[in-house]
A and B are shown apart, each in its own frame.
Chain A
Amino acid sequence: MIRLTLSQMRRSVGRLAAAGLAIVIGTAFVAITLLAGNVITRTTYDSIAAQFTGADLVVRGVPADDTALDAVRDTDGVATADPQLMSYQQLEAGGRTIFQGVLAEPTDTSVLPLEVADGNLPEASGEIALPVDVAERLDTTTGDTVTLVRNVLEGDQESDEDAWTEVREQLTVSGTLTDPYGAYSMQGGAAVAPAADVTAWDDDLRAPGEEPVEPTTVLVTLDDGTDVETARTAITGALTSAAAGSGTDTSGLKVVTPSEHAETVATEMTGGDNVIFTTFVLVFAAVALLVAALVIANTFQVLVAQRTRTLALLRCVGADKGQLRRSVLFEAAVLGLVSSVVGLAAGVGLGQAALTIGRGMDLGVPLPATVDITPAVILIPLVVGTLVTLVAALSPARAATRVAPLEALRPADAPSGARGAGRVRLVLSTLVAVVGFALLGGGVAVSTVGGEPSLGLMVGVAGGVLSFLGVLVGAVFWLPRVVALAGRLVGMSGPTARLAAANTLRNPRRTAATSTALLIGVTLVGMMSTGAASARVTMDAELDSRYPVDVTVSTDLSSDPVSVAAGDAAVPAVPGTLAGTVRDVAGVATVVESPATAAQVAGDGVDDGLAMTVRAVDPADAGSVLRSTEMVAPLAAGTAVVPEELSEVWNISDGQTLTLTGPDGSLEVTAAVTDLADSGLLVVPDDLASLDADAPVTSLWVGLDDPGDAASVVPTIQDAVADTEAPADVMGAAVERAGFQQVIDTALGIVVGLLAAAVVIALIGVANTLSLSVIERRRESATLRAIGLSKGQLRGMLAVEGLLIALVGAALGVLLGLVYGWAGAAAALGWAGTPVIVVPWRDVLLMLVVAAVAGLVASVAPARTAVKTSPVEALASE
Chain B
Amino acid sequence: MDTTVYVPIPDEGTAARPTVTPAVRARALTKTYGRGEAQVRALDGVDVDFTAGRFTAIMGPSGSGKSTLMHLLAGLDSATSGQSFIGSTEVTGLNDKALTALRRTRVGFVFQQFNLLPMFTAEQNITLPVELAGGTVDKQWLGTLVDTLGLGKRLTHRPSELSGGQQQRVAIARALIAQPDVVFADEPTGNLDSRSGAEVLSFLRRSVRELGRTIIMVTHDPAAAAYADRVILIADGKIAGDITDPTPESALAGLDALRTVAAR
- B77: which A residues are within 8 A, CB to CB? 870, 872
Q: Is A234 an interface residue (CB 8 A)?
A: no
Q: Tally chain A residues at the interface, Cβ within 8 Å.
A: 31
Mask of B85-119 contacts with A, CB within 8 angstroms, 1/0: 00000000000110011011100110111010111
- A506: which B residues are within 8 A, CB to CB? 118-119
Q: CB within 8 A of B109: which of A495, A498, A786?
A: A786
Q: Is B192 an interface residue (CB 8 A)?
A: no
- B132: which A residues are within 8 A, CB to CB? 495-496, 784, 787-789, 793
The chain A residues found within 8 Å of chain B, CB to CB, are 411, 413-414, 416, 494-496, 498-499, 502-503, 505-506, 779-780, 783-791, 793, 870-872, 874-875, 877
A787 near B128 (CB under 8 angstroms)?
Answer: yes
Q: Given that A872-B77, A875-B76 are contacting pairs, would A787 and B118 also be in contact in the complex, using a CB cutoff of 8 Å?
A: no
Q: Is B20 an interface residue (CB 8 A)?
A: no
B118 near A790 (CB under 8 angstroms)?
Answer: no
Closest Cβ–Cβ distance, residue A497 to chain B (whole Å):
11
Q: CB within 8 A of A787: which of B97, B119, B120, B174?
A: B174
B109 near A502 (CB under 8 angstroms)?
Answer: no
Q: Given that A506-B118, A787-B174 are contacting pairs, would A875 and B100 also be in contact in the complex, using a CB cutoff of 8 Å?
A: no
- A875: which B residues are within 8 A, CB to CB? 67, 71, 76, 109, 111-112, 186
Closest Cβ–Cβ distance, residue A757 to chain B (whole Å):
35
B100 near A785 (CB under 8 angstroms)?
Answer: yes
- B28: which A residues are within 8 A, CB to CB? none
Q: Is B222 an interface residue (CB 8 A)?
A: no
Q: CB within 8 A of A783: which of B108, B115, B134?
A: B115
A788 near B133 (CB under 8 angstroms)?
Answer: yes
Residue of B nearest to A788 (CB): B104
Q: Is B131 an interface residue (CB 8 A)?
A: yes
B76 near A414 (CB under 8 angstroms)?
Answer: no
- B108: which A residues are within 8 A, CB to CB? 787
A783 near B71 (CB under 8 angstroms)?
Answer: no
Q: Is B61 an interface residue (CB 8 A)?
A: no
- B45: which A residues are within 8 A, CB to CB? none
New contact pairs (20) apart from A788-B132, A874-B115, CB-CB < 8 Å = A411-B113, A413-B113, A494-B131, A495-B134, A499-B117, A503-B119, A506-B118, A506-B119, A785-B103, A786-B76, A787-B108, A788-B133, A788-B178, A789-B100, A790-B96, A870-B77, A872-B77, A875-B71, A875-B112, A877-B187
B103 near A786 (CB under 8 angstroms)?
Answer: yes
CA distance A786 to B112 in the complex (A): 14
- B100: which A residues are within 8 A, CB to CB? 785, 788-791
Q: Is B129 an interface residue (CB 8 A)?
A: yes
Residue of A nearest to B106 (CB): A788
Point out which of A785, A788, A793, A877 has the most chain B C-beta atoms below 10 A from its C-beta: A788
The chain B residues found within 8 Å of chain A, CB to CB, are 67, 71, 76-77, 96-97, 100-101, 103-105, 108-109, 111-113, 115, 117-120, 128-129, 131-134, 174-175, 178, 186-187, 190-191
Point out which of A502, A506, A780, A877 has the most chain B C-beta atoms below 10 A from its C-beta: A877
Q: Given that A872-B76, A875-B71 are contacting pairs, would A787 and B112 also be in contact in the complex, using a CB cutoff of 8 Å?
A: no
Residue of A nearest to B178 (CB): A788
CA distance A413 to B113 in the complex (A): 9
B190 near A787 (CB under 8 angstroms)?
Answer: no
Chosen A-B contacts, 11 in total, with CB atoms closer than 8 Å, are A411-B113, A502-B120, A783-B111, A783-B115, A784-B117, A785-B103, A787-B132, A788-B104, A791-B96, A871-B76, A875-B71
B103 near A877 (CB under 8 angstroms)?
Answer: no
Q: Given that A870-B77, A875-B67 are contacting pairs, would A780 and B115 also be in contact in the complex, using a CB cutoff of 8 Å?
A: yes
- B175: which A residues are within 8 A, CB to CB? 787
Residue of B nearest to A779 (CB): B115
A787 near B109 (CB under 8 angstroms)?
Answer: yes
Residue of A nearest to B132 (CB): A788
Residue of A nearest to B102 (CB): A788
Residue of B nearest to A414 (CB): B118
Q: Given that A783-B111, A786-B103, A874-B111 are contacting pairs, would A505 and B129 also be in contact in the complex, using a CB cutoff of 8 Å?
A: no
Closest Cβ–Cβ distance, residue B50 to chain A (whole Å):
18
- B105: which A residues are within 8 A, CB to CB? 788
Closest Cβ–Cβ distance, residue A310 to chain B (whole Å):
20
- A788: which B residues are within 8 A, CB to CB? 100-101, 103-105, 129, 132-133, 178
A411 near B191 (CB under 8 angstroms)?
Answer: yes
B111 near A502 (CB under 8 angstroms)?
Answer: no
Instruction: State the 3 A-B residue pairs at the shortest beta-carbon distance, nearest first.
Output: A788-B104, A495-B131, A502-B119
Residue of A nearest to B191 (CB): A411
B118 near A874 (CB under 8 angstroms)?
Answer: no
Q: Given that A780-B115, A875-B112 are contacting pairs, would A787 and B103 also be in contact in the complex, using a CB cutoff of 8 Å?
A: yes
Residue of B nearest to A416 (CB): B118
CA distance A419 to B147 in the complex (A): 35
- B97: which A residues are within 8 A, CB to CB? 790-791
Residue of B nearest to A504 (CB): B119
- A411: which B residues are within 8 A, CB to CB? 113, 191
- A498: which B residues are within 8 A, CB to CB? 131
- A877: which B residues are within 8 A, CB to CB? 112-113, 187, 190
CA distance A871 to B109 in the complex (A): 11
Residue of B nearest to A875 (CB): B186
CA distance A557 to B115 in the complex (A): 85
CA distance A789 to B128 in the complex (A): 10
Residue of A nearest to B187 (CB): A877
Closest Cβ–Cβ distance, residue A866 to chain B (whole Å):
14
Residue of A nearest to B75 (CB): A871
CA distance A674 to B243 in the complex (A): 109
- A874: which B residues are within 8 A, CB to CB? 109, 111, 115
CA distance A605 to B2 in the complex (A): 137
CA distance A418 to B112 in the complex (A): 25
Residue of A nearest to B125 (CB): A787
- A503: which B residues are within 8 A, CB to CB? 119
- B104: which A residues are within 8 A, CB to CB? 787-788
CA distance A503 to B119 in the complex (A): 7
Residue of B nearest to A782 (CB): B115
CA distance A789 to B174 in the complex (A): 14
Residue of A nearest to B114 (CB): A783
